[in-house]
Amino acid sequence: MKKLKVVILGATGMVGQRFVQLLAEHPWFEIASLTASDRSAGKPYAEACTWRQDTDMPESVKSMIVQPSEPNVEGSVAFSGLDAGVAGEVELAFAAAGYGVVSNAKNHRMAADVPLLVPEINPDHIDIIPIQQKNRGWNTGFIVTNPNCVAVPMAMALGPLHKRWGVEKVFVVTMQALSGAGYPGHAALDIIDNVIPFIGGEEPKVEVESNKILGTMANNSFVHADFRTSAMVNRVAVIDGHMLSLSIAFKQKPSVDEVKQTLREFTSEPQQLQLPSAPIPPIVVRDEDNRPQPRLDRNTGNSMGVSIGRVRECPLFDIKMTVLGHNTIRGAAGAAILNAELLKAKGYLD
Ligand code: NAP
């Protein structure tokens, strides 16, 4: 199969570097160009980017010249790891110019005609794309987003349960990794021996995104799921891997065993379509008392799987559990790549 040429927007950042790492050997996509800010444009990628991944920078990108983030670069699909301060406008410009934009940024996530996609949970939401193109007067271009790095594992845990028993309300406390703040993130003296109980703008995102993801499509628009979420977020001294303590109330109460079995047996379109980045199984349910843990479990399913443990009765709500996902892979670059694979499999990138 001839590979599809792609551009990475914001290629020098934490998420951009993950895109480079994950796309360098991708069977369907080939990196054709890299963009960043004017600070980096014009330099070879190896010079513009301070590489902070745990594998070497791929040879194929080292001498690529970083371009300004303008829609005249080689590639038909644009993966966006842009800073949210600029992502909104830049992504619109790329979509208007005909690129399929697959974004990590928050800017367009909640727009009424933009899919907020977790391919295992709401793959049908991509069918809004023709409506989006009509609304905005775009021919081939479009924007698809992936959720916030907490909302991805949260939606993966809630999705299969919501379908069977109806989620009524959710209380979530997060322990979020440092890489979620980009580089350099917090100063060492602020985060070592410490927990910071605030991440700017995070709680509102966590409190609304799952409702869109777990919602349905009717009459060419999204109908959001009607449960309520209360989120309390914390930054902890972990490099990668966001952990969530979830308490869930259901419309019809399941047993602990039913919840575990439903999560264990869950499989969906990315697995059936054998998308290259789809984790098999998508959810790993652990029975040990002390799992999941970021260091031990963040790389489950090539870092695309979600680990769930400590499923038990909740004295306040119905069921509580601990959920873990790799924030820069399953919650960011890997999520966007899986979105693009689904788009390709469904003919949206032809
Ligand atoms: P980052 O490390 O700060 O990288 C930001 C990127 O945007 C860099 O490539 C930077 O280029 C580029 N950029 C900044 N200003 C620009 C401008 N004016 N014009 C063009 N490009 C510009 O941030 P990050 O952590 O990778 O996050 C990137 C996006 O993903 C954000 O929207 C973030 O909210 C979202 N996200 C992050 C995570 C995570 O776990 N980190 C998870 C989910 C979503 P230069 O190097 O040239 O400055």
Query: What digits encode the pLDDT tens for the residues 308-326?
Result: 999 999 999 999 999 999 9
Give the atom of ligand 1 at the shortest distance from the alpha carbon of 40: 47
What is residue 99's predicted lDDT score, i.e. its pLDDT?
Answer: 98
The pTM score is: 0.97
pLDDT of 244 higher than 90 = yes
Would you give the end-to-end CA distance of the chain in angstroms?
Answer: 13
Where in the chain is CATH 3.40.50.720? 4-148+333-345
Give the residue-averaged pLDDT of 128-155: 98
Residue with tokens 């590639």: 75
> Cα angle at 191 between 9 and 12, to 5 degrees?
15
Give the atom of ligand 1 at the shortest distance from the alpha carbon of 327: 40
> Which pLDDT band holds residue 300 (cuts at 50, 70, 90)?
very high
Choosing from 17, 38, 82 the residue with most ligand 1 atoms within 8 A of its CB, the one to mutate for a pocket test is 82
What is residue 338's predicted lDDT score, i.e. its pLDDT?
Answer: 98
CA of 311 to the centre of ligand 1 (A): 35
Residue 90 near residue 69, CB atoms below 8 Å: yes
> Which pLDDT band holds residue 1 (cuts at 50, 70, 90)?
confident
Percentage of residues of the chain with pLDDT beyond 70 = 100
Give the residue-averaged pLDDT of 18-29: 97
> Which pLDDT band holds residue 343 (cuts at 50, 70, 90)?
very high
Q: Provide the 10 A C-beta neighbour count for residue 194.
A: 11
Give the chain's mean pLDDT: 97
Cα distance between residue 255 and residue 54, in whole Å:
41
Give the active site residues.
Answer: 149, 242
Domain 4-148+333-345 in CATH 3.40.190.10? The answer is no
Domain 151-326 in CATH 3.30.360.10? The answer is yes
Give the atom of ligand 1 at the shortest distance from the alpha carbon of 41: 47
Cα distance between residue 272 and residue 25, in whole Å:
22
pLDDT of 238 higher than 90 = yes
φ, ψ at 344 (rounded to 5°): -65, -45
What is residue 183's predicted lDDT score, i.e. its pLDDT?
Answer: 84
Where in the chain is CATH 3.30.360.10? 151-326
pLDDT of 70 higher than 90 = yes
What is residue 75's predicted lDDT score, i.e. its pLDDT?
Answer: 98
Does 179 sit in the ligand 1 pocket, CB within 6 Å? yes
What is residue 98's predicted lDDT score, i.e. its pLDDT?
Answer: 98
The 3-state DSSP class for residue 254 equals coil
CA of 83 to the centre of ligand 1 (A): 3
